[in-house]
């Protein structure tokens, strides 16, 4: 029969449950793991050991409960399990050679340093300089922290700092200036407080009726997004590519919100943006301009909006000048587009007008329903001219070709 005496550790002694009133040290966490292992073995009635990953998962949950009771920010559950596993591996490395080397002076010093560190070092995510013995029973109950963290939330959003990191930094500052102490921990800031404050500010900005939306600009990119996948009874961390589109209101450059379309196509993007504006009651009656990174995306917007933005795009269609298009085509990643670009450059060389004259830079008419950038203009109606940047390389290549 397995008894608690048999699971006594040679370095730390008997297993022990975590205290509900003290923040745990690394020694407390290890002893709690041994206690959890002993309890699981008794309940299962089997000689087969329970996987340590299961034990670490249970102990991490107990640690989170203790830290939440003290209103102290903690790392994620996954990170807590990783920290427990890492320290348990370090303990096992010492235990394996304990019987053989326990009388050696060098090994004795190593064991003493390990034990001293385990007894004094708190198992925590944020080093706030709190004492090892922290009596949670004396912490006064507070239903909610009433600090106004508007500026903190705004700066956190501006620099893209996570809620957890923001809470840790803010709590550290409060501890340094003496607002947080051993006697009063009611002002410790939790990540949930930061998250709620961010949501409150974003909602206030969206619903500000005094803000007039003259222009709406959107752009995005594909980001690595972390999500949890449930397989059976367990959740697994996964990473996937996801399109994130941010909406900005002008004038003022104010953040409106963001959408996550199911695909990067123009139809899906426009559908999600229009739905977002409608769901959040954002007034676009005075909208005069919409800005984005591609012409094709605007084709899926409502007709009333297209009538506003199409003339603006046409007036600024300098990017569609044949010379600019040719430069883009000859460096295109598609081989047939590069060949088409080179053939048009050669044709432009044969159409050089006689005599010297000043060329007029005229913006061409844009074909808004084009499916590729090479179809944005009608090449049969455009007056072709070779880009000046290609003049010298072309002349050199011609002389080289004639020498053969």
CB contact at 8 A, 69 and 136: yes
Say how far apart CA 357 and CA 369 lie, in whole Å. 35
Please, which residues have CB within 8 angstroms of residue 129's CB and are 6 or more apart in sequence?
Answer: 175
Task: Please state the rounded mean pLDDT for residues 131-158.
Answer: 62
Burial status of residue 168 (CB atoms within 10 A of its CB: 0-12, 13-18, 19 or more): buried
- Going by pLDDT thresholds of 50, 70 and 90, the confidence category of residue 318 is confident
**H helix intervals, 255-321:** 266-279, 303-315
CB contact at 8 A, 350 and 332: no
pLDDT of residue 219: 75
Helix (H, G, I), strand (E, B) or coil at 228: strand
Cis peptide before 251 (omega within 30 of 0): yes
pLDDT of residue 143: 46
Say how far apart CA 280 and CA 265 lie, in whole Å. 23
Task: Please state the rounded mean pLDDT for residues 119-147.
Answer: 53
Helix (H, G, I), strand (E, B) or coil at 39: helix
Say how far apart CA 48 and CA 31 lie, in whole Å. 20
**Largest CA-CA distance found in the chain, in angstroms, rounded:** 107
Over residues 358-401, the pLDDT tens digits come to: 767 777 888 877 777 888 888 888 778 878 777 665 454 554 44
pLDDT of residue 352: 63
Lowest mean pLDDT among 38-42, 154-158, 271-275: 38-42
Say how far apart CA 72 and CA 130 lie, in whole Å. 11
**H helix intervals, 161-318:** 163-176, 191-206, 266-279, 303-315
Over residues 322-348, the pLDDT tens digits come to: 888 888 888 888 888 889 988 888 888
What is the average pLDDT value for the chain, to the nearest integer? Answer: 75
pTM of the full structure = 0.33
Residue 240 sits at the vertex; the CA angle it makes with 238 and 246, to the nearest 5 degrees, is: 130
Structure tokens at 224: 């690595």
CB contact at 8 A, 183 and 130: no
- Assess whether pLDDT exceeds 70 at residue 130: no
Count the alpha carbons within 13 Å of 350 in the hemisphere toward its beta carbon: 5
pLDDT of residue 127: 40
């Amino acid at each position: 029969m397995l008894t608690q005496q048999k699971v006594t550790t040679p370095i730390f002694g008997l297993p022990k449950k975590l205290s509900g009133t003290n923040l745990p040290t690394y020694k407390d966490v290890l002893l709690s793991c041994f206690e959890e292992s002993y309890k699981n073995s008794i309940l299962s009635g089997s000689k087969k050991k329970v996987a340590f990953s299961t034990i670490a998962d249970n102990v991490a949950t107990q640690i989170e409960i203790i830290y939440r009771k003290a209103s102290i920010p903690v790392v994620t559950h996954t990170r807590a399990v990783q920290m427990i596993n890492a320290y348990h591996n370090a303990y096992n490395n010492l235990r394996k050679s304990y019987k053989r080397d326990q009388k050696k002076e060098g090994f004795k010093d190593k064991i003493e340093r390990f034990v001293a560190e385990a007894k004094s070092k708190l198992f925590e995510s944020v080093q706030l300089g709190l004492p090892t013995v922290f009596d949670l029973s004396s912490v006064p109950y507070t239903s909610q922290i009433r600090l106004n963290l508007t500026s903190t939330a705004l700066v956190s959003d501006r620099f893209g700092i996570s809620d957890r990191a923001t809470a840790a930094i803010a709590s550290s500052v409060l501890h340094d200036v003496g607002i947080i102490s051993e006697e009063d921990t009611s002002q410790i800031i939790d990540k949930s407080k930061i998250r709620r404050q961010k949501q409150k500010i974003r909602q206030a900005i969206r619903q500000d009726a005094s803000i007039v939306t003259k222009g709406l600009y959107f752009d995005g990119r594909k980001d690595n997004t972390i999500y949890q996948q449930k397989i059976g009874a367990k959740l697994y961390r996964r990473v996937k590519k996801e399109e994130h589109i941010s909406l900005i209101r002008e004038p003022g450059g104010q953040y409106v919100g963001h959408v996550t379309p199911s695909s990067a196509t123009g139809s899906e993007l426009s559908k999600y943006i229009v739905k977002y504006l409608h769901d959040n009651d954002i007034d676009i009656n005075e909208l005069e301009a919409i800005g984005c990174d591609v012409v094709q995306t605007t084709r899926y917007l409502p007709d009333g909006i297209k009538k506003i933005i199409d003339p603006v795009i046409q007036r600024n269609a300098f990017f569609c000048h044949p010379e600019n298009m040719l430069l883009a085509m000859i460096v295109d990643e598609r081989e047939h587009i590069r060949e088409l670009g080179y053939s048009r450059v050669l044709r432009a060389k044969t159409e050089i007008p006689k005599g010297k004259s000043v060329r007029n830079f005229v913006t061409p008419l844009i074909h808004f329903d084009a499916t590729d950038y090479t179809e944005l203009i009608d090449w049969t109606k455009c007056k072709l001219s070779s880009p000046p940047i290609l003049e010298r390389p072309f002349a050199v290549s011609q002389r080289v070709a004639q020498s053969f």
